[in-house]
Amino acid sequence: MSKQRTAAIVNGDPVEFLSDPGQTLLDVLRDELHLTGSKEGCGSGDCGACSVIMDGRLVCSCLVLAAEVEGCRVETIEGLAAGGTLHPLQQKFLDHAALQCGFCTPGLLMASKALLDANPDPTESEARYWLAGNLCRCTGYDKIIKAVLDAAAELRQDRKSA
C-alpha cells in the first residue's frame, strides 16, 4: 500500500502530506497535521463535528479523501480566529453560552461561518436548516442559533461601518 503525496493550502499555509488511499481529510488533519480541532463524532457525515470549508464549500472532512484536496484551500477551526483576535462568531458563542461540552463547537462554528459567508442575514429558520447537519446534544440549539443570528447582525454592522 503506497502512500500518496498531496499538496494543499490549509488555513492559508501551504502543506504537503503523505496519506494512504483510504485516509480521509479528517484523518490527515488530525493525525498528520495535528489539527485536532476538527472532531470525529460519527465518521459518516451525520454529525458535522468534522466540518471544514474546502474551496469555499462546507464539507464533512470525514467524507473527503485526503488525496482529493490536492491543490485545494482548506479552512479549519484552527484558522478561524485572526491571529489572537476571535472571529465574531467565536465571540458570540462565548457571549451567549452557546456551548457546553464544546465537542460539536468547532464544526458548528465552521458551518456558521459558511452560512454567514453565503447569507449575511439569515432568518432563524434558515440558520436552523443550514446547521441541521451539525448535531449538538448539550444545548438544545437555542443559544447556538441566538449566537449565530447575533454574530450575523454584528458582521452586517461592521460591513456598513467599514
Partner 1 sequence: MNKPVKPEDTGPILKVVGTRPIRPDGVEKVTGRAAYGADLHLPGMLIAKVKRSPHAHARIVSIDTRKALALPGVKAVMTSADMPDLAAEHYEAGESASNLRDLSANVMARGKVLYHGHAVAAVAATSNAIADQALDLIDIVYEVLPHVIDVEEAMAPDAPILHDQMFTAGLGDTPTKASNIATKHRLDRGDLAAGFAAADVIVETRYSSAAVHQGYIEPHACVASYAADGQTQVWSSSQGHFVIRGLCAKLLKMRFSDVRVIPAEIGGGFGGKTTVYLEPLALVLSQKSGHPVKMVMTREEVFRATGPTSASVVTVKMGAKSDGTITAAQIDLKFQAGAFAGSPVGAAVMTSLACYDVANFEITGWDVVTNSPKVAAYRAPGAPNAALGVECAVDELAEKLGMDPMAIREKNAVRNGVRAPYGPVYKNIGYVETLEAIKSHPHMAIPLGPNQGRGIAAGFWFNIGGESTVNVSINEDGTAIVSTGSPDIGGSRASMAMMAAEVLGIGVDQVRPIVADTASIGFSTVTGGSRTTFATGMAVVQAAEKLVTDLKRRAAETWGVDQDQVVWQDGAAHCLQADKAPKGALTLAALAGSAGKTGGPIATVVALNAQGAGPGFGVHVCDVEVDPETGHVTVLRYTAAQDVGKAIHPAYVEGQIQGGVAQGIGWALNEEYVFSTGGVMENAGFLDYRVPVASDLPMIDAVMVEVPNPAHPYGAKGVGEVPIVPPLAALAIAVRHATGARMHDLPLSPSKIRAAIDAKAG
Partner 2 sequence: MAQLSYLSPSSVDEAVKALSGASARALSGGTDLLVQVRSGRAKPDHIVDLKRIPGLIGIRSENGGFVIGSATCGAMLSEHPTLSKIWPGVVEAANLIGSTQVQGRASLAGNLCNASPAADSVPAMIAARATCVIAGPSGTREAAVETIVTGPGKTSLGAGEFIIAFKLPPRGSKASDAYLRLIPRTEMDIAVAGAAVSLALDADGVCTSAFVALGAVAPTALLVADAGQALVGTRLEAAALTQMEEAVRAACQPISDKRGTADYRTKIAAVLAHRAAVIAWNRAKEQA
Cα separation, 49 vs 40, in Å, equals: 6
Question: Cβ closer to partner 2: 26 or 155?
Answer: 26
Residue 35 or 64 having the CB closest to partner 1: 35
CB nearer partner 1, residue 121 or residue 142:
142
Nearest to 107, CA basis, from 60, 146, 147, 67: 60
- Asked whether 89 and 116 are in contact (CB, 8 A), the reply is yes
Type of residue numbered 5: R
Query: How many residues sit close enough to partner 1 to count as binding (CB under 8 A)?
Result: 61
Q: Which residues bind partner 1 (CB under 8 A)?
A: 1, 20, 22, 30-31, 34-44, 46-47, 49, 76-78, 80-81, 86, 90, 93-97, 99-106, 109, 124-125, 127-129, 131-146
